[in-house]
Structure 1
Amino acid sequence: MVHTNALRLLSVCLTLVPSILAWSTGVQPGQIQNLVTFGDSYTDVVNIADGGYAWPTYAAGYGPFNLYPFAKSGATCSNNLTYRPFPPVFESQIPTYISEINNGSLKLDPNTTIYTLWIGTNDVGANALETGSDPGVTVVDTVECAVNWVSALYAVGARNFLFQNMIPLQNTILYSANSYPNRYWTAERNTTAWNVQMTEVTNAGNAISRLLLRGLAPALPGAHVGLFDSYGLFTDMYNNPANYLNGTAPLNVTGCVHSCVFNLNESTGDPGVCTIANGTDRDSFLWYDELHPSEQSDRIVAREITAAIKRTSDEWTTWFS
């Protein structure tokens, strides 16, 4: 007869197996103390694009984590692919980080530090792939560049990575079928064609990044590589706003907090006719303006990124190593 205590021990061990298996990849609960962020205006904590605080600021508080922000508004992955007059990830943000590591002004323990990247919105958008502004460059090129961010930081000692894929940009006002002339594009265009193309590009790009990250992870000994499904999260927010938005105005996923309608072909120097939601009404909107998530959306991003890092939820995250 098996001893009662042995049965209890076996029961406890079997109960723990799912948790052990769940933590066999990815960072461990309580491991991360430092958050280092790269990307564009969706992540920039200085030139803030949501009218309040950017998601890394909230995540730093939720963690809590020590925040080291390198993301810059307007950025693409590389200006050698899609040129914009803003600090790109490869020609500016990564070199700045490496310089601070080398000169000793930034000292981070690789084991307790995680690196995030949210890039692609400017690479695939207006004045880039969407409008054919960089002939010969494809979404394959821009996504490969983004995934190479992992290898570039791994080479200088980073070991924990969370890659944020592109949101459903076709659901932003700028790229919707019902779009209007706005601060980001005033020239005449076929809004239906833009919407269809953006749907194809975001889905293709995200599928490529998943495959590339899955293939890359085993080649980086000691690294933890995760994919945060921004596309899935924002799709769920779009389809089920009552689960995420909590403002005092009617919930709105097709308009924005700060909307400005221009006359067709009007100079963007004129603000156009603007409508602005104020106070707690702002938290009823998925979008802040025609391109950027609202502050309430960024709170949700911060909450889910924090949950992924602390391993309290992997609902939107896949760990490849």
Structure 2
Amino acid sequence: MSPSLSLFILGLGLISVVRAQSPVWGQCGGNGWTGSTACASGFVTSMRYSQCVPSSSAPSSTGSAPPASTPSSSVKANYWFSFGDSYTATAFSPDSTPPQPSNPMGNPSFPGGTATGGPNWIDYDTVTFNNSLVLTWNYAYGGATIDANLAPPYTPTVLSLTDQVNEFLNGAAKKPASAPWTGENSLFSVWIGINDLSWSWWQTGDRLAYSDTLLDAEFALIQKLYNVGARNFLFLNVPPFQRSPYSLEGSNTTAPILQGVIEDFNTKLVQRVQDLKANNTGVTTFLWDSYEDFNKILDNPTQYGFRDATAFGSGDDLFWG
């Protein structure tokens, strides 16, 4: 939702007093929303996500991070624990301000530090395209690989998926007051593998067998999450970055080889997700096929508002940053 549309919905909430009103924490706008855009007396529409929040919890107009607070027992929050690389990262620090109703991304202030310079997919899903209060702990780190011992990141300071999961296990996994999550009201998502395959596809040895090595490490971490109570898992596969300008600048064989490695990894990921559910009780899994959806856009870029499939830089009409 654009800022102007958010302002418009806020205005409707102020003037349409005769309409049915949404209760505190109730939805009052968003993609496809056809219900009330007015909030009950004493509450205001949040500017960051279309939901009615108490006046005292409304986000600051300055955009600065609010002080830490704990969701009250009456707030039916859902908790999202996210892991990944720069496609997901928002520069969140688990040692700083935790997610809370007035800033569901926690820190930094929405949308955080992203590779796009603006909201990324997890920002939008937490703040805009949601039907309930979602508090997101986003451990994703730019440049991350699954394990630095298997695929070294571009700099040793990068937190791998292994590091990110350990951060969670040493913090929010213990269910502090700011994150009283349960297996039923929490989601654990992982979007990883892009940097691993970018580093490994051209190495010597059996590249397809290496996909198994990477996935062994990833799902050993997923098992640790399950062991502390995680039950709902969202996985995102590797997008077709063989079609990126960077990959296309290589030799004529670069893109086809890279494509084969990515597709092999994604096929094996599907099986690992199925095995996770089959071998553990009470597990619900979701898999978003970013590979297919990216290809749909790249095959018809102008249909989706992009200039073409290969231009890159800064601009709303460029697919590649």
The yes-or-no answer on 1:170 pairing with 2:226 is no
Quick one: which of 60, 78, 84 aligns to 1:33?
78
Q: Are residues 1:111 and 2:184 paired? A: yes
Judge conservation of contact 1:32–1:114 (CA < 8 Å) in 2: no
Residue matched to 2:51 = none
CA RMSD between the two structures: 2.3
After superposition, the Cα gap between the structure-2 partners of 1:116 and 1:102, relative to the gap in structure 1 and judged at 3 Å, is same
Aligned partner of 2:262 in structure 1 is 202
* Structure 2 Cα separation of the partners of residues 164 and 146 of structure 1: 13
1:83 to 149, 152, 165: 152
Q: 2:318 aligns with which of 285, 288, 308?
A: 285
1:67 aligns with 2:136: yes
Q: Does 1:48 align with 2:114?
A: yes
Query: CA 1:103 to 1:222, structure 2 compared with 1: closer, same or farther past 3 Å?
Result: closer
1:252/1:242 CA distance change after superposition, 3 Å: closer
One-letter identity of the residue aligned with 1:111:
E
TM-score, structure 2 normalization? 0.62
- Taking CA–CA contacts closer than 8 Å with sequence separation of 6 or more, which of the two structures ends up with the larger relative contact order? 1
Partner amino acid for 1:94? V
Cα deviations across residues 187-230 of structure 1 (Å, max 9, x unaligned)? xxx42222121111110100111112112211111110121111
The 3-state SS of whatever aligns with 1:124 is helix
**C-alpha separation in 2, matches of 1:133 and 1:79:** 18
TM-score by length of 1: 0.62
| Range moving further from structure 2, 163-172 or 59-68 | 59-68
Distance 1:35 1:83 in 2: 27
Could you tell me which amino acid in structure 2 is paired with residue 124 of structure 1?
L
Q: Report the alpha carbon displacement of residue 167 of structure 1 after superposing the two structures with TM.
A: 0.2
Question: For residues 253 and 175 of structure 1, what CA distance do their matches in structure 2 show?
Answer: 13
8 Å CA contact 1:144, 1:209 repeated in 2 = no
1:231 to 285, 291, 297: 291
Write out aligned runs for 1:164-313 (5 A).
Answer: 164-176=236-248, 179=249, 190-245=250-305, 251-256=307-312, 258=313, 277=314, 282-288=315-321
Tell me, yes or no, if the aligned pair for 2:302 and 2:308 is still in contact at 8 Å: no
Question: Counterpart in 1 of 2:213?
Answer: 141
Does the Cα contact within 8 Å between 2:175 and 2:181 map onto a contact in 1?
A: no
Q: Where do 5+ consecutive residues of structure 1 fail to align?
A: 1-30, 180-189, 259-276, 289-321
Cα distance per residue 1:38-91 (max 9 Å; x no partner)? 00111001242123222111111121521110000111011121122211111x
Percent identity over paired residues: 25
* Cα distance, 1:244 vs structure 2: 2.9
What count of residue pairs does the alignment treat as equivalent? 216
CA displacement 1:7-40 (0-9 Å, x = unmatched): xxxxxxxxxxxxxxxxxxxxxxxx9822221001
Tell me the distance in 2 between the aligned counterparts of 1:168 and 1:149.
25
In structure 2, list runs of 5 or more residues that go unmatched: 1-75, 92-112
Q: 3-state DSSP class of the match of 1:222?
A: coil
SS at match of 2:310: strand
SS of residue matched to 2:195: coil
CA deviation digits over 1:149-207, x for unaligned, max 9? 4322111110100100000111111112xx2xxxxxxxxxx422221211111101001
Structure 2 vs 1, CA of residues 161 and 103 (structure 1 numbering), >3 Å: closer, same or farther?
closer
